[in-house]
Structure 1
Amino acid sequence: MGGPTATGKTALSVALARHFDGEIINADSMQIYRHLSIGTAKATPEERQGVPHHLLDFLEPEQPYSVAEFVRDASSCISQITGRNHLPLLVGGTGLYISSLLQGVTFAPEQTDPALRRTLQQQAETEGPQSLYARLQTVDPVYAQKVHPNNLTRVIRALELYESTGRKMSEQQQASRPQEAPYRALCICLTCRDRTELYRRIDLRVDDMMRRGLLQEAELVWQYRDTYKTAAQAIGYKEFFPYFEGGQSLPGCVEDLKRATRRYAKRQLTWFRHQSEAVWLYLEDGAVEAKAIQQVEAFLQN
C-alpha cells in the first residue's frame, strides 16, 4: 500500500490486517529508526491495535540502512508471515523500497572507494550539490531523471560507481531486474482528487505533530546531527535547524516544513503514478475501507 503522506495509509492498513488476518511490513525509510516517532508519523501502539508490525522501530538512528538490506529483510518477513498462513501487507511511502521488493531487484555487492566518496562529498560542499548532479546528467542522464537533484547520497553513489567501474547506475539497475516478478501483488494507493485537500491534510498533520512534541524530537536530531546522518537530512527535522541555530523564527520553520512536505507528497504521487497496475482510492469518494476490502477479496479469490 502506497501513496503520498497524510492520506491515511496507517489506519487503512491496520483495518485490512485485522479483517484479513494480516501482518504489516513497514516500507518507510525513516520509520525503521528508534526514538524518531513524531516526525516520521510512526504508528503508535494504540494505532497498531495489536496487529504485528515488522521492520518498524528496530534500528538506532546512527545505523545506515540500504535498499538492498530492506529487500533482504522484507523478503524474509514475507516468508515468515505466509508460513503462518497470514497475509503480508507492505505499507509505506518509500516508493523505492516497495518497487525494488516487488520487482525482485537484485543488488550486486557494493564496491566502495572511500577516497573517491570523500572527494565527491568535498566537491558538493565547496561547489554545491548541483555540480555533482550536473555531472550525473552528463554521464548517466537516464538515471539522473529518476533522482532528485538534492538526493546527494544517491547522486554520489551513482558517480562513485561510474568513476570506479565505468558502469552506469541505470544499466546496473536494468540488469538487476528479473524477467518475472517474484511476488503476485495488489498495489493499493491512497490520495485525494483535489490537490488542495491533500495539502490541507498535510498542514493539519504538521500542526498536530507540533502539539505532540515534534520540536523536541527535532532538537534531538539537531544535537546528534553528526551521527544521525540520515535523520539530519530528513523532512521533519532539518527544517528546524535554522531555529536552533538562531537564524529563523519557529513559525517560519513550521511553514518551511509544510512546504517541504507538500513537495515531497508531489514526488510520491509521481512515483506511485508510474506503477501502472496500482489501484487508486480517493479519500473524497468515501467508503475507502470498504472499497479496499473489496479489492483485496477479489485479488485473493483470483
Structure 2
Amino acid sequence: MKIPVVAIVGPTAVGKTKLSVKIAKRFNGEIISGDSMQVYKGLDIGTAKVTKDEMQGIPHYMIDIKNPEESFSVAEFKDKVQGYIEYIHNKGALPIIVGGTGLYIQSTLYQFNFADEGRDPAFVQKIETEIDQNGIDEVYQRLVAVDPEQAQKIHPNNRRRVIRALEVYEKTGLTMSELHAKQRRESPYNPIIIGLTMEREELYRRINNRVDQMVEDGLVEEVKYFYDKGLKHAQSMRGIGYKELIPYFEGDISMEYAIEQLKQNSRRYAKRQFTYFRNKLDVHWYPVSVPTIEHIFSIILRDLEGMLKEVPK
C-alpha cells in the first residue's frame, strides 16, 4: 500500500513553516525540509531556517546535513527524503514535506527522470554539428513537428533545451510533454499537496520585511564568515541571500545596493516558485493574508482530515 505524504508548498515568506507545525501536531506528523539550502550547516539566517522554538518539539529532517563546502544534488535529495518518508511512516507518523524548491519536491513525490541520466553524447554531437552548419531553425522545426507543446515552451535559440527535447524523443519514443505528463501521474506515494498563495503586493511586502529582519539578525556577518573561509564559489554560497553580498565584500557595490538586489531576487524567486508549483504539481491551493491566515489554516486542517480519510488503507 502506498504511503500517504503531505507536502506544503508555495512561495517564500507565505507561512509554510507555521502551517507545517500545526499539521504535524494535529495529525501526528514529522517534518522533512524540502528546501535545497537548509541542508547546509551554519547557513541559518539567509535560508530562513526553522528555529528550535518554531519546531515546537516536532522532529525535523533534512536540516544541517551538509557542510557548506559540499555539493548537493536533487538526486541525493530524493534518495535521502524517500528514506525519511519510509522511516517516519514505519514509526506510525505522517511524513510532511515542507519547502519551496519545486524540482526537489516533484522529484521525490513522482517518478522523475533526471536530465543528466541516459544522455546520448553521439546524438547530441550530431545535432550540435547540424546547428553549427545550418543554423538552429531547421532543428527547431523538427521539434515543432514531433512535440509542438514542448516547442512552445522553448525559445528557438535555446539550443541546449531544443537538443534535449529531441534527444528524449529519440531515446524513449515519448515526447518531453508525454514524459512530463506521465511523471505527474505516477507516484510511489499517496501525495496530498497543500499550496499557500498570497496577493502579490502583500507577499512582496512580507519578503522585503523579512530581508530587513535578516539583516538585523546578522545576515551580513553570517555570509562574511563563509566568504572569509574561502567559500565564495561553493554551491551553498550561490543561493539567494548569500550571492548578493559577495560583490559588496569585494568593494564592487554598496551595502544598500546589495540588500536591494537581495530583495529583488527574493521577489523574483517567489514568482518562479508559484509558477513551478502551479504548472508541475497537482496542488490544493489556499489564498492567505495576514488577517485571515489563522482562519485559513483551520480550513486546511479540516480539509486535510477529509483527504487523509480518503487515502486507501
> Which segments of 5 or more consecutive residues in structure 1 lack a partner in the other structure?
114-135, 150-154
- Is residue 70 of structure 1 aligned with residue 77 of structure 2? yes
> Counterpart of 1:123?
none
TM-score w.r.t. length of structure 2: 0.75
TM-score w.r.t. length of structure 1: 0.78
Q: Is the 8 A contact 1:161 1:167 kept in 2?
A: no
- Is residue 255 of structure 1 aligned with residue 263 of structure 2? no
Q: Go from structure 1 to structure 2 and tell me whether the alpha carbon gap of 1:179 and 1:95 turns closer, same or farther (over 3 Å shift).
A: closer
Please, which of 187, 207, 221 is the counterpart of residue 216 of structure 1?
221
SS at match of 2:31: strand
Q: Go from structure 1 to structure 2 and tell me whether the alpha carbon gap of 1:88 and 1:143 turns closer, same or farther (over 3 Å shift).
A: farther
> Counterpart of 1:291?
299
Q: Is the 8 A contact 2:277 2:283 kept in 1?
A: no
Q: Go from structure 1 to structure 2 and tell me whether the alpha carbon gap of 1:38 and 1:146 turns closer, same or farther (over 3 Å shift).
A: farther
* Offset, 1:280: 2.3
> Counterpart of 2:247?
242
- Is residue 279 of structure 1 aligned with residue 277 of structure 2? no
> Which segments of 5 or more consecutive residues in structure 2 lack a partner in the other structure?
1-7, 121-138, 145-149
- Is residue 15 of structure 1 aligned with residue 27 of structure 2? no
Distance 1:13 1:204 in 2: 22
* Offset, 1:255: 0.9
Distance 1:91 1:218 in 2: 24
* Offset, 1:36: 0.3
Alignment of 1:16-165 (within 5 A): 16-107=23-114, 110=117, 142=150, 145=153
Task: State how many pairs are aligned.
Answer: 275
* Offset, 1:11: 1.2
Question: 137-146 vs 19-28, which deviates more?
Answer: 137-146
Distance 2:184 2:200 in 1: 36
From the CA coordinates, give the structure whose radius of gyration is larger. Answer: 2
Please, which of 255, 265, 271 is the counterpart of residue 270 of structure 2?
265
- Is residue 203 of structure 1 aligned with residue 211 of structure 2? no
RMSD of Structure 2 on Structure 1 (CA)? 3.6
Percentage of matched positions with identical amino acids = 40
* Offset, 1:209: 0.3
Q: Go from structure 1 to structure 2 and tell me whether the alpha carbon gap of 1:156 and 1:246 turns closer, same or farther (over 3 Å shift).
A: farther
Q: Go from structure 1 to structure 2 and tell me whether the alpha carbon gap of 1:98 and 1:139 turns closer, same or farther (over 3 Å shift).
A: farther
Distance 1:252 1:138 in 2: 43
